[in-house]
Amino acid sequence: MEQEVDKLLSNPYAAALAYVSVAVLALVLFLFLFEFVTRYECWEEIKKGNVAVAMATGGKIFGICNIFHFAVKANESVYQSMVWGTFGFFLLLVAYFLFEFLTPVFRIDDEIGRDNRAVGLIAMVISVSLSFVIGAAIV
């Protein structure tokens, strides 16, 4: 089975479609996991116009996709890219919890839920920045 898949992926168009499909599916799954661990409902808050949540969610989207960018670029198969991309996502998730834990002055999720745009911006920049470090580490 793996040989047939590898043969199919030798076509650059099929390979691009496979990589993008895997990344989109992973993005949906990983955003669901982020939604599960935050104290606010991301998409409900965005629908209400909560800019802080939109910025934090946008940072997560960029971070996840950037990690997959590095995973695809550094690995020779879709399978390896998936494994490294997933590992990178879990590192990003751990970083999210560390950020929450290491900010004892206030609760990050509560502030973002209240549309504190300064906190939303910092959360976005942290997700984006760490995705570059994580991406470089998983190659």
Q: Is the pLDDT of residue 2 over 70?
A: no
72-78: long-range pairs with CB below 8 Å, 24+ = 72/19, 72/23, 73/139, 74/138, 74/139, 77/6, 77/9, 78/5, 78/9, 78/15, 78/18, 78/19, 78/22
Residue 1 binned pLDDT confidence (cut-offs 50, 70, 90): low
What's the predicted TM-score (pTM) here? Answer: 0.89
Q: What pLDDT is recorded for position 15?
A: 85
pLDDT digits (tens, 9 = 90+) for 4-38: 766 777 888 988 898 899 999 999 999 999 888 88
Confidence bin at 50 (pLDDT 50/70/90): very high
Average pLDDT, the chain: 91
Measure the CA–CA gap between 65 and 67, rounded to whole angstroms: 5
Closest CA to 81 of 133, 13, 16: 16
Q: What is the dihedral of CA 24, 32, 55, 104, to 10 degrees?
A: -140
The most distant pair of C-alpha atoms in the chain lies apart, rounded to whole Å, by 55
Higher-pLDDT residue of 16 and 1 is: 16
Higher pLDDT, 102 or 71: 71
What are the domain boundaries of the chain? Answer: 2-137
